[in-house]
Amino acid sequence: MAIERRTTRQKEAIKTVLDEQKGPLLPDDIHRLAIKTVPSLGIATVYRSLKNLQEEGLVCCVEIPGQAPRYERSDKGHHHHFHCRDCGQVFDLQKCVAGGLKNLAPAGFEVTDHEIILYGTCKACSS
């Protein structure tokens, strides 16, 4: 039997924040943006809601090595990320070079998945 999750103003505010962003966000960033809609929203509720949204398959976790997990909508499909080392923001990349990656594996190995994170300076920090 499927668990029916109720929709709350807090959860809707979090979903709206994730819908409006172009890249994955830290829970603190989600909280900072969502309290503009629901001023009483607490950080613990953000974490609980993100967990529930993950369980429902609506949100996925993006892990950057050495960083706290970030969250984004799970319906974006396969894509990669760019991490600005100056401002710390993470941006979505739309292109994937998956076909060429299979050639990097040793002979006889089968590539089943991959993750790519580009690091550098974003356009805003470069100017």
Alpha-carbon gap, residue 77 to 19, rounded angstroms: 14
What is the residue extent of each domain of the chain? 9-75, 78-126
Specify the 3-state DSSP secondary structure of 112. Answer: coil
CATH number of 78-126: 3.30.1490.190
**Per-residue confidence (pLDDT) for residue 4, from 0 to 100:** 47
**Per-residue confidence (pLDDT) for residue 49, from 0 to 100:** 95
For the four alpha carbons of 12, 73, 69 and 81, in that order, the dihedral sign comes to: negative
**Per-residue confidence (pLDDT) for residue 94, from 0 to 100:** 84
Taking the model in full, what pTM does it have?
0.82
Instruction: Tell me, yes or no, if the two domains 9-75 and 78-126 fold the same way.
Output: no
CATH number of 9-75: 1.10.10.10
pLDDT tens digits, the chain, 127 residues: what are they? 444 456 689 999 999 999 998 899 999 999 999 999 999 999 999 999 999 999 999 999 999 999 999 999 999 888 899 999 999 999 999 887 766 777 888 989 988 888 889 999 999 999 8
Which residues fall within 8 angstroms of residue 94, CB to CB, at 6 or more apart?
79
